[in-house]
Amino acid sequence: MWYNSIYNKSLAEPAAFWKQQAMQLQWFKAPDTIVSAKENGLTSWMADGELNVCYQAVDYHVDNGRAEQPALIYDSPVTHTKATITYQQLQEKVAKLAGALQQLGIKKGDSVVIYMPMIPEAVYSMLACARIGAIHSVVFGGFAPHELAIRIDDIQPKAILTASCGIEFDKVLPYKPLVDHAIDESKHKPEHVIVFQRKEHTAILDRKTDKDWEQLAEQAAPAACVPVKATHPLYVLYTSGTTGKPKGIVRDSGGYATALKFSMKNVYNADPGDVFWAASDVGWVVGHSYIVYGPLLHGCTTVLYEGKPIRTPDAGAFWRVISEHQVKVMFTAPTAIRAIKKEDPDGALLQSYNLSKLETIFLAGERCDPATLHWVENLLNRPVIDHWWQTESGWPMLGIMMGTEVMATKAGSAGKPVCGFDVQIVHDDGSPCAAAEEGLVAVKLPLPPGTLTTLWNNDEGFVQSYLQQIPGYYLTGDGGYKDEDGYFYIMGRVDDVINVAGHRLSTGEMEEMVAAHPAVAECAVIGIADDLRGQRPVALVVLKDGQNIHEADLEDELIHIIREQIGAVAYFRNAAVVKRLPKTRSGKILRKTLRLLADGMPFKIPSTIDDPLVLEEIREKLQERQIGNAFIELI
């Protein structure tokens, strides 16, 4: 098998393997040393090489025949706007903005916070920083001021790039007051706040630090690409930490570019010139890797979509974008597919669109239950690949490498390890688990290029969070198992495993069974406190539109299913129908928050939640059903 050959080589001969991949890039100074050890137990990649990621993603294509090819397709159903930006136009926009940043005194090594909606200027911002060697930190547009302030104090930016507003469905959300509030709260004070004025809302620029984006860019001379070391930080991206303090994931330049370039063909089977669409946001790792850097490094056309899978205007929105822009490869989250399924369970809206160019859909962000996977597979009659990775990894760790060898998929499985990742299932002491035995998902060191290099200003926290528990391994924080064929199953965060009367049970497995019920659109199974058994499972269920099943009848049917498939040991007794589930803005269900709420424990409402009111709705439902000890205490 070709997959086995290339995968085994990546582990047995990492220096030779990644040198070959690195040479697919245009280096200002090609690396001689491909791999070198660091003190923290991790690895530096291409440490003596020099490049510029913006040059590779933009200028290289202008210089090599792609100047008139679309680089970005901006599609905004919320503003009824569509625009195509060629590589030549992208180069001009980015170079001018980079020149404006230089005129403000921003240079290589300085940090810049980007707080933007899904508009082309967000991409220009990231690339402009990369062009001059500034380190960007994108904060999801719409984050509360307190969360933005925490990140400002940690990264200490010289400037903040923002827009006058974002748009959520049909609601205009002014950003400037949020930025002002965050700066007032933060100890660090950025020297400049650069505001792009959108026609939907005009921000008032009333502070000395405020600058008008277009005026600055218009007056600036285009900036050239600044060579940086391969180990130079390209960006810092914050992810939630268990301590409540966000963790700043540091991504290097050379290793990251090498890994993304490799993944575009070998994982996603995308070729230069293809249209690639990751339906995410630039504020998340998917947006960094597969809206911006990955597709552009590979010479693809990337879709920048300012909309939702539903209500912009309907559940056919994704099919319209694929059809209209001739998307070859799509990447989205299972929660988006479930939202479409809920509103259009028979896929009637698909009939209006031509998806003949679409070859593959990739799913990630959370585990995809088999019911959702089968629904979209049957609807589209295309391969649907569930794959798995993290903010920390920067690119896929598990999947089906569609550009290497097309292998069978298994429902519920995230596939096999991607080149460079020695993924293993181990016990708490690091000893290997048997086939089908659940354990901790860990990656044997060294990690391949493109993964995190440390935490921003927190090397000690980096080691404690990821490397300390099992020496020689990077601990992912997820649990799962591997079957006899080498396919991995990620069952969720380790703390999603519950202990019912001494029996360790996976809520992910129960979710599979609940989600397979024909009336269920999506669900979350959580473990709540039980005086006798320690914990017991409870299902929160969202019904498909048009379903009239009584809650008591559904509960009885689900109890029967769980008892039949897992046994009485699961002690599954309750399924409550709710209108919606609490999710992050990237689509992940907030299961830990639900557990704390059901147990009556104090908790802080996560800054990433899409709508805090959903927690109050669920609290009332649990109280009505007398399930758990739900109350809500805000911190």
Say how far apart CA 441 and CA 423 lie, in whole Å: 7
- 145-192 pLDDT, tens digit each: 888 998 999 999 999 999 999 998 889 999 999 999 999 999 999 999
**How confident is the model at residue 631, as a pLDDT?**
60
User: Mean pLDDT across the stretch 256-260?
Assistant: 98
- In angstroms, the CA 269 to CA 330 distance is 11
Distance (Å, whole) CA 531 – CA 630 = 15
Q: Which helix (H) or strand (E) holds 317?
A: helix 317-325
- If you count them, how many residues does the chain have? 635
Q: Is the four-CA dihedral 365, 367, 371, 377 of positive or negative sign?
A: positive
The whole-number pLDDT of residue 502 equals 59
pLDDT at 243 > cutoff 50: no
Q: What is the reported pTM?
A: 0.87
> What is the per-residue pLDDT across 471-519, written as a single tens digit (0 to 9) for each?
999 999 889 999 999 999 998 777 667 778 656 677 887 898 899 999 9
- Give 367-380 pLDDT, tens digit per residue: 788 889 999 999 99
More confident residue, 564 or 597: 597
pLDDT tens profile 321-339: 999 999 999 999 888 998 8
Mean pLDDT of 50-56: 98
User: For position 504, what pLDDT does the model report?
Assistant: 61
Averaged over 34-39, what is the pLDDT? 89
Provide mean pLDDT across the span 127-139: 98
Q: What is the pLDDT of residue 245?
A: 65
pLDDT of residue 566: 78
Portion of the chain with pLDDT greater than 90, in percent: 79
Express each pLDDT in 593-612 by its tens digit.
899 899 988 888 887 787 88
> Could you tell me the two tokens for 192?
């400049």
Amino acid at 514: V
Q: Can you give the pLDDT at residue 608?
A: 75
Please state, rounded to an integer, the average pLDDT across all residues of the chain: 93
Nearest C-alpha neighbor of 306 from the set 122, 127, 70: 122
Residue 1 pLDDT grade (very low, low, confident, very high; cuts 50, 70, 90): low
| pLDDT band for position 634 (cuts 50, 70, 90) | very low
Rounded to an integer, the average pLDDT of 248-253 is 97
Domains parsed from the chain with CATH numbers:
55-226 (3.40.50.980), 501-625 (3.30.300.30)
pLDDT in tens, 271-323: 999 999 999 999 989 999 999 999 999 999 999 999 999 999 999 999 999 99
Q: Tell me the per-residue pLDDT of 566-585, one tens digit each, with 9 for 90 and over.
A: 777 789 999 999 999 999 87
Distance CA 166, CA 195 (A): 12
